[in-house]
Amino acid sequence: MIRYLRSALPAMFARGSDEIAHPILVNSIPKAGTNLLLNIVLAIPNTNHLSDVGAAMACHDPQERLELVQKGVSQLEPGSVCTGHIPHTDAIACWLAEKRVKQVFIYRDPRDISVSLYHYIVREAEPRHAYYPLYERLSSDERLMAAIKGLGEGRFKHRLSKTSNLNIRINCGIFSPWLHDANTFAVRYEDLISTNRTTSLQTVRGMLRFLGLKVSSSMVSSIFDTGRDPGKSRTYRRGKPGAWKSEYSAEHIAAFREVAGDLLEQFGYAWD
């Protein structure tokens, strides 16, 4: 379950000409900064989190996935926020546009996603992750390799089950078309947590304008400072960009290149 905060900013953000005119979908690749983005979105005045369709990622049938999204999103009103890990299909993209749902999508370096994923699966917190039995018996190097290569049917196709987890290409690739969707504002995780505050504020400003808000510098700063607190998330571990460099061995790098090919280029990253 995704944790969130409700907006509590000064009265200068009261309802009026800056009122949100659309429902909002916060979509993400798992372990790409979902809760961070959600907290920032919910720092926008007059927004509230009403539903989650995270189960959409486990729907292998495109029609079932569409129906699940429709059920979770159709009752939203302007300012209502829905969350989910929703792979792209043309049908879902068209339906969201027809319903005037504004989507904000967050992505992250796939290598860091693989590291964050395996740590999350084997974390000590209860309840245990559904894939914990798959990873528990593996060493740390093997767990990271499993996050890269996948396990069971997930090594070859989009199949999530007690015996199957996706390889990194499928895990990220099923989301990549959202980067080019006209009704979607794509947020790069590294920009939100940048040590350069200007970069982070520019990202938030662009998102607010995409959502149809008139923005001022004080508004952008207040929303960013109120929402940016990864410590509020039970799923947060480190969140440091480039963490893969300290965990990837030469074998992991070779496996990523073999499995993912041009995945980094698709998302705008490079080997450095």
- Give the rounded percent of residues in the chain with a pLDDT score beyond 90: 75
| Digit-coded pLDDT (tens) for 7-16 | 434 333 333 3
Q: Could you tell me which residue, 132 or 25, shows the higher pLDDT?
A: 25
Confidence band of 3 (pLDDT split at 50, 70, 90) = very low
pLDDT of residue 2: 42
Please give the CATH topology (third level) of the domain spanning 20-109+173-232.
Rossmann fold (3.40.50)
Kindly tell me if the per-residue pLDDT of 140 is higher than 50.
yes
Domain residue spans of the chain? 20-109+173-232, 113-171+236-267
The 10s digit of each residue's pLDDT in 48-83 is 999 999 899 999 999 999 999 999 887 789 999 999
pLDDT score at 78: 92
Amino acid at the residue 123: R
Mean pLDDT of the chain: 88
DSSP string, 82-141: EEE-----HHHHHHHHHTTPEEEEEE--HHHHHHHHHHHHT-SSSSPPTTHHHHHTS-HH
241 contacts: CB under 8 Å, gap ≥ 6:
109, 112, 189, 190, 193
- Is residue 264 within 8 A of residue 110, CB to CB? The reply is yes
- The token pair that represents 208 in the structure block: 């607010």
Burial class (CB in 10 A: 0-12, 13-18, 19+), 196: exposed
Q: What is the pLDDT of residues 218-263, one digit of tens each?
A: 999 999 999 987 555 444 445 678 889 999 999 999 999 999 988 9
pLDDT of residue 248: 97
| Higher-pLDDT residue of 47, 261 | 47
Q: At 270, list the tokens.
A: 């490079």
**pLDDT classification of 272: cutoffs 50, 70, 90:** confident
- Where does the pLDDT of residue 6 fall: very low under 50, low under 70, confident under 90, or very high at 90 and above? very low
- pLDDT for 241: 86
152-175: pLDDT as tens digits:
999 999 999 989 999 999 999 999
